[in-house]
Structure formats: structure tokens, C-alpha cells
Structure 1
Amino acid sequence: MKDKLTQKTFKGLFDMSIGVGAQFIIQFVLLIVLARLLSPTDFGLVNTSVIIVTFLSIFSMAGVGQAIIQRSNIAEEHISTGFTISILLNSILAVITFSFSPLISQFFDMDELEIIVKTMSLIFIFQGLSTVAESIMTRDLKLNVLSKIQIVSYLLYAIVGITMALLGFGVWSLVSATLVQYGIRCILLLILQPHSKKMNINKQAFKDLFIFGGGFTLARIFNQIAVQGDNFVVSKFLGVQQLGIYSRAYQLMAVPVTLFGKILDVVLFSSMSKIQNDTFRLSQALLKGVSLVSILAIPSSFIFIYYSGTIIGFLFGSKWEGVIIPFSILAAGIFFRSSYKICDSLIQAKGAVYQRAKYQIVFATLVLITSAVGSIWGLNGVSIGVLISIIINYILMSNLALKLLNMSWITYLNSQKYGFRIGIYLIVILILVSHLISSIIDSKIIVFCTVSIILISILLFSIRKFPNFFLGKDGMWFVSFLFKKLKKNKNKK
């Protein structure tokens, strides 16, 4: 039984990796294309509307989806009750968002924002219909299907967004693409994960869901304040154009975070929930997850910081030079953001949602205060404030997870040493090789590509020669698992 769950979990990781990897490629290309077709103001307007919609989305689900995933046993009454609550709450929030759009526009002093917020309120309808289906699919670890849905919906987002941008629709390219993405995702979830659409609220089922869901929602309120608090500060105090620039820096930093953290977060929460009373197995899952994230995220941070100017110039062009320093600062937090997501999964799986909520209140308060103070020095100050908040939140969330497992900080930090080894090794080689190639070739892009090829070759050779030193037991196990999975898939074809 234990082996079966482990196999299913890592099969889920593999399937989710394919989906998120494909989404990563699409998002990467989209970032480049849209940044050259649209202005910082266009991105700023949409991101301001996203602040509102994302924050209100917390109440639209009321923790129903996570409660369905977390419960050991789920009955038909839980499904119908969850579906009914989701429909009702999302419908109410759609009406509220639509009605208050003029006030929101006045608050941010952006006349164009009113019609955008009204249009984006349709997102609540799509969420209301699909939340339960997505939760059941995640609970059952049908992550291969879920990853395909994500790829299709994001691909259509890219097609609609780029096509409309080329036709000169400006900000409406982003708005329309977002609605298409949510709409297609909703339709596919309902088709591929059928469940009872009966509208009914069962008292006991309501109580079961909201014992967990209430605490989850409380924590999520403050988590969203933390996630969107810096955007709010930038939009309110520095203006929509600066928000457009800042959002590009943050989104580019979030690409690897999504790639490393989200995969493990989605899969591990579902799997951890099934073994929530087995402390030893939960401890092993946490250490494996954090070790893998450190191996991927820490070297990425070092490379992004070192080559930030070249990356931004190549991807976005000269009009986005203001992104370079904020991106460099935020890139330093990639590992910390990815790691606390894994701790978050464990804390939720253990049902410690009210303890989690306390830490999220601290995190939200820190983000608002540090970004507001930092705004005095512009986007660079905001970025430093957010980085400080992310590191403190990593410490707090890790500490709570370790308490729940009765694990020491030494054991926990020891699992992260391999990422730092690879990161330090890479940056030393990177500096030496980069200086050598730069003295021969003038073009920054050619230097970047040449150094990257050399760097990857040296790293692969070093890992092959000294796998235990660079990857450790967990890293070697995961590489072995991936090769077996790829070989199996190849043989099937």
C-alpha cells in the first residue's frame, strides 16, 4: 500500500511536470511576444483588475476545494454541498465585483479600469462551476488529465492574446485571453471529471467541509494579501505603468517558482493528506520535496541574478530596462518561495489550518509594510521589501512544519545542502567561463548561449562523475525514477 501510494505520487509528479513544463514553455514565449506588442500600461491595467479578482476568489471557494482534497473519506453529500456553495458564492461575488467596479476605478484613479473589472467578473462564474471537479481530479491524483487541461487552456490564452495584440486590441488582448483560458478550463474540467450537479446543502457535510475550509479560507485571505499586497502598493503609490514593469519582473521570477513549487505543492498536498497520521512518511516526503526544490531552484537563482540584464534585454527589449534590477532582487527569493509552498502543503495535510492562518497574517502584514516603506525608493525598494518578507515567511512556515513533525532544523537544512553545492559550483564556473568568452566575443547573446552550453555540459559531466556529492540520495533516486519513467513511456510508443 505504501509503495503503491509512493509510485502514484511520483507518477503524479512526472505527469504534472510535463504539464507545467509545457505551460512553462508557452508562458516563456508569451512573455517575450506580448512584452514586445503591448505597453507597461496595458499590463498594469490588467494586473490591477487581477488584484481585485484574485483577492475576492478566496471567498468564492471558501476552502471547499481544499477540504474535499484533504478529507480522508468523501461522500456524495460533500460533493453536492460543495458544488452548491461554490455556485452561490461565486455568483454573489460576480455581482458584487460588477456593481463596485466604478468605485474600484475611482480608488485607483484609472478610468479604463471600470469596464475591465466588469468584464473580468465573469471569471467567478467559471470558477463556481469548475472548483469541485478540479478538486476531485486532484484528490484522485489524475494529474495527467489535469496537466493536459492546463496546457490546452494556456495554449488558447496564448493564441487569443497574441492574435488580438497583433490586431491592435491593446489591453483587451490580455482581458479576452484570460476569459478564454478560464472558460475553456471550466468546460474541460466539467467534461473530463463528471460529478453530481445536484444543488443541495447537507448540514453535516457543510460542517465537515467548513471545519477545515474555514481555517483554510482565513489563511488564504492573508496569503492573497501577501501575494497581491506589493502589486496593490505599486499600483496605488507608483502608478499603473510602474505596476506593468513590476509585474513583468515578478511574473518572470514566478515562472521557475511555478515550475518547481506548484508541481510538488499540488501532488504532495493530495498525497500527504492520505498519510496525514504517518509522521515518518510525512517527514520523508518533506525532506525529498525540499531537497529536489533546492537542487533546481538555488542554481536557477544564481544564474538569473548574474544574467538578469542579458535575459531582460533579449526577452523584452530596451523599453523594459526598468525590469532588470527588480527581477534580480526577486530572483534571490526563488528557493524560499518554492520551499515554503511544500511546507504549506504539509501543514494543510495535517489539518493545522488555523495555525497556518496566524503565520499568513504575519506574512501579509510584512509584505504591506515592507513594500510600502520600500516604495519610497521606487520599484527596487518594493522588491527588497518583498524579498525580506518571503525569507521571513520561509522561516516561519518551515518552523511550523518542523514542529508538526518533531523534526530538527539541522535535519531540514541538511536536505538543502545539495542545491547550494550545485549553485556555488555553477556560479564559480559561470564567472570564470563568462569572463573568458567575453574577452573573445563581443555579442552578449552569443556569449550567453555559448556559456550556457559549456555550463550545462560541465554540470552534467560533474553530476555523472560525482552523483552522491551533487545530488544526494533523494536527488539520485528522483533522477533514476525519471529515467525509468521516460524509458517506460518510450517502450509504450
Structure 2
Amino acid sequence: MDETQRVDEIGAKASRGLRWSLLGNFVTRTGNFAMGLVLARVLATEDFGTFAVALAATQIVMHFKDVGIQAATIHWRGRIEDMAPTATVLTFVVTTGVYGVFWVFAPAFARLSGNEEATGVVRLLTSIILIEAFTAVRAAYLLRTFRQDRLTLAIMIGFVANASVAITLAFAGAGAYAFAWGQVTASLVTGVLVFIWGWLPVKVGLNREIAGKLLRFGLPSAAGFGLEAVLMNSSYVVVGNVLGTEQLGYYLLAFNVSSWVPGIIGTALRYVSLPSFSRLSEDPAALSEGVRRSVPIMVAFVLPPALVLAVLAHPLITFLYGARWDSSAGVLRWLAVLMVVRMLISFLAVDILTGLGATKTTVWLNLVWAAVLLPSLVVGAHADGTRGAAVAHALVAVVVAVPMAVYILRRVGVRLGPVLPDLVRPAVAAVVAGAVMFALERLTSSGPALVQLVVAGGPGMVIFGLIVVPGGTLKKLVTRSA
């Protein structure tokens, strides 16, 4: 089987898994968005800020919870049944230890974030890693075998439980705890379903040779993903510490909006990209072909929403959340830039490196990124508040992270030259569509927010599509639809 056939075979499985993952993410993210609209009108800004502290803590411990055993399971060369008992024991022991350490550290983390009242919420929300300790290997098994349909259904059912609990508790006056209890309930429901649907023999054991292989792959992977979590959540801590809980609430809202695309497309992509690149990495030529196909598609998908978030930030925030949240719009413009970089690096480059087994390089990538970002966030927040923090996030991503990722990929043998010609159309389309949207938004700036979104956003998206999609492909699509 040549590299093209191998890419096509794995691509077919990945495409089916991606469709299911996208469907699930779209449904749950749309539901989360609707739930956020309700909660934004019920809860105070301070409640959002308190939850942001707990969310930052949870995102960090989530990446350290199993020392990369889940990623190692996806990448495992051999029978999954042989390594599952050892992987399960390692995951449970490490996760319990991580939670115990963070339970003790929670008050200090809350104080560091400028909100001591968040301690209880932090302890509650981070407890979801204990639930996932029982299901990590089975979830990895579902991903490894491209059975994303079952994992997606489990997540969707868990979201229904989340919404029911969170909204009920919010109206009952539970404040930030409404968010936390909803998330814990969702994790429990999803975990039970994954444990059943991702069935593997229930065995406990510890094979030293297998454990060594898992940890040699998993520890650097966990460190890399953990640093990635620090990168994406450190701004919550800095903004809360420098500017206070209320300003953190505005920042959280903007960051959540900028995370829609990474949440819907990026998370879905990770469900299939890790197993896909792991299989493709067995043949260097097939891997290079897979990269050549993947990068332009990713760019074409991520640029349109980035343009909307950057150019139409004010009408978008006003229409969705009301005029009182308009302070988030100036933050959102810059976080749209960060979103593009996150998609290309955190959800593509890192997955390629992990699929290759080059997990140590992800540590260096995120370590350099974090080392530059943290002081930049402090300077930005002091200089220009929440917008300054967002500007720092975006600039460091473009100036530091992108060149570093390109350098590392080339060092491990990934050919990026063949990708460049296919990036011309998306780049031109972004410039033209962005200019059109900016001009139309200025012309309608005195009108209602919805009118600005439709009048400016609609033509911009059409223009982008017309430029990006080749004429022959566009003609085929029109002919089929007719």
C-alpha cells in the first residue's frame, strides 16, 4: 500500500469520526452557549469571575491527571488488551495523587487569582478528574478505534445533565457553584456511558516493562499538554490578580467566545488527529502527505470565524449578551488572533508531534511560549487592562509560538514547503473579506447589532468562500445542488 492509499484509508476513518465529533461538539457548544445566555442574565459578573478561577485550575489538572497515559494508549503499538491493566492502575494512582495535592493547594491558588472565595468551587470542579480516572483508558480505546460516535453520544447525554443541574441551581441562588455542580454531574453521566461503551476486560495489573513504555511517552506528553493548559488559562489568574474579579468576568466572557471554534472544531479534530497521525507516522511519506492535506483545510475553516470575531466584535457581543458586556469586545478582537494560532499549533502541530512520538518537543514548544507569555500578560494587564492582556496573548502567540512550532516541525522531518502554495487562497480571501466586512460595519455602525452582523458578516463570508473554493469545485457543488 503506497502513501496515498494509506492516507486515503485512514482519512476515511478519520472523516467519519470527525463528522461525529463535530456534530457532538456543535450540539454541546450550542447548548453551552444557550445555557451561558441564561446564566449571564441570572448570575452576577463576580460569579463568572469565580468560576473562571475554578475553570483555570481544572484545565491545568486535567492535563496532568494521567501523566499522558491516555495519549500513550492511543499511540500504543500492539494489543490494547495487553497494556490496559497497567495503564488503568497508573492512571488511577496518579490522578488520585494529583487531586490530593491540588485540594491542599486550592486556597493558595484562589488567593493568587485574587478571589479567596473560589476555594470551594475549585475543589469541587477539579474533582471531575477522579471520575475520569476510571474511564481514561476506555475513552482512549474508543478514539484509537475511531469509534467517536459512542464517545460523542456519551458527551451529549452528559451535557443534558449539566444544563439541567446548572440552570436549576442558578435560579436557586447557588452562584458559581451552579456551574461546578453541572460540570461534575456531566462528567459522572458521561463517565458511566464511556465505561460501558468502551468496554475492555476489567483487570488490574502492573507490568514494569509496559509501565516504562507508557511513562516514557506519556510524561513528556502530559507536561506538554499541561503547559498548554497553563498557556490558555494563565491569563485568568493574571487578570484576576491585577484587575479584580469584575474585570475577570468581562475577560472570561470574551475568552469563552474566542474558544467556540477551538471548542467545536479543535476538540473534534483532536479526537481524530491523534490516532490518525499516530497511524500515519509509521510511514514518513504518508505523514507528509497527510500534513499537506490537513493544514490548508484547517486554515480555511478557522479564518472565517476569526474574521467575524475580530471585525464584528462589538455588534456580536452586544447582540448576544447585551450592551453591559460591551467591554468584552475590545478583548475579543485580539483573542481572535490567538484563536487562529491555537488551532494551528495546539490542535494540529502538537498532535502531529505527539503522533510522531516526539512528545518532548511539545514540552519545549509550550515551555518557551509560557516563559515569554507570563511576564507579557502582567505588563499588558497593567498597561491597558483586559485589552492589554489580550494584546499580549495575541502578540506572543504570533511572534514566539508560530516560528517555534515551524522550527520544531522541520527538525523532526515534517515537510512544510508543499503546504505553502495551498495557503495562498485562504490568505487572499481573509484580506479581501476582512476589508469588505470592516467597510460595511462602519456604514451600519449606527444601526442595531443584528443588522451590522447580517449586512457586514454575510457578504464577507460569501466573498471568502468564493475566493477559497476553486472554480471547478464550486461549479460541481452548484451542479449537484441543482
Do they superpose with TM above 0.5? yes
The alpha-carbon distance between structure 1 residues 444 and 354, as it changes in their structure 2 partners (threshold 3 A), is closer
Cα deviation 1:454-482 (Å, max 9, x = unaligned): 5555666x36xx8316xx98xx89x98xx
**Distance of 1:105 and 1:14 partners within structure 2:** 39
**Distance of 1:169 and 1:403 partners within structure 2:** 51
8 Å contact from structure 2 (residues 53, 110) kept in 1? no
Q: Which residue of 2 aligns with 1:393?
A: 401
Q: Which residue of 1 aligns with 2:360?
A: 354
8 Å contact from structure 1 (residues 257, 337) kept in 2? yes
Q: Which residue of 2 aligns with 1:335?
A: 340
The alpha-carbon distance between structure 1 residues 7 and 184, as it changes in their structure 2 partners (threshold 3 A), is same
Matched, 1:161 2:163: no
Cα deviation 1:406-449 (Å, max 9, x = unaligned): 524x433333222223322322433455556x39x833323423
CA shift, 1:95, in A, is 2.8
Cα deviation 1:146-188 (Å, max 9, x = unaligned): 2222222223322322232233322121111111121112111
Range with bigger deviation, 111-120 or 65-74? 111-120
**Distance of 1:467 and 1:175 partners within structure 2:** 43
8 Å contact from structure 1 (residues 130, 190) kept in 2? yes
**Distance of 1:306 and 1:106 partners within structure 2:** 36
Matched, 1:29 2:34: yes
Q: Which residue of 2 aligns with 1:363?
A: 369
Q: Letter of the 2:470 partner, please give it.
A: N
**Distance of 2:469 and 2:62 partners within structure 1:** 44
8 Å contact from structure 1 (residues 296, 419) kept in 2? no
Matched, 1:421 2:421: no
Q: Letter of the 1:195 partner, please give it.
A: L
CA shift, 1:61, in A, is 0.5
Aligned-residue CA RMSD in angstroms? Answer: 2.7
Superposed, which structure 2 residues align to 1:231-246 within 5 Å?
231-246=236-251
8 Å contact from structure 1 (residues 337, 394) kept in 2? no
2:228 to 223, 228, 240: 223
Gaps of 5+ in 1: 487-493
The number of residue pairs the alignment matches comes to 472
The alpha-carbon distance between structure 1 residues 177 and 349, as it changes in their structure 2 partners (threshold 3 A), is same
Q: Which residue of 1 aligns with 2:317?
A: 312
TM-score, length basis structure 1: 0.88
3-state SS of 1:175 partner = helix
Q: Which residue of 1 aligns with 2:379?
A: 373
2:60 to 49, 55, 59: 55
Q: Which residue of 2 aligns with 1:489?
A: none
The alpha-carbon distance between structure 1 residues 107 and 359, as it changes in their structure 2 partners (threshold 3 A), is closer
Superposed, which structure 2 residues align to 1:210-289 within 5 Å?
210-289=215-294
**Distance of 1:111 and 1:413 partners within structure 2:** 49
Gaps of 5+ in 2: none
1:467 to 454, 466, 469: 469
8 Å contact from structure 1 (residues 302, 332) kept in 2? no
8 Å contact from structure 1 (residues 299, 423) kept in 2? yes
Over the matched positions of the two proteins, sequence identity in percent amounts to 18
TM-score, length basis structure 2: 0.90
The alpha-carbon distance between structure 1 residues 117 and 260, as it changes in their structure 2 partners (threshold 3 A), is closer
CA shift, 1:288, in A, is 2.0
2:85 to 67, 80, 90: 80
2:138 to 133, 149, 162: 133
The alpha-carbon distance between structure 1 residues 201 and 330, as it changes in their structure 2 partners (threshold 3 A), is same
**Distance of 1:433 and 1:101 partners within structure 2:** 48
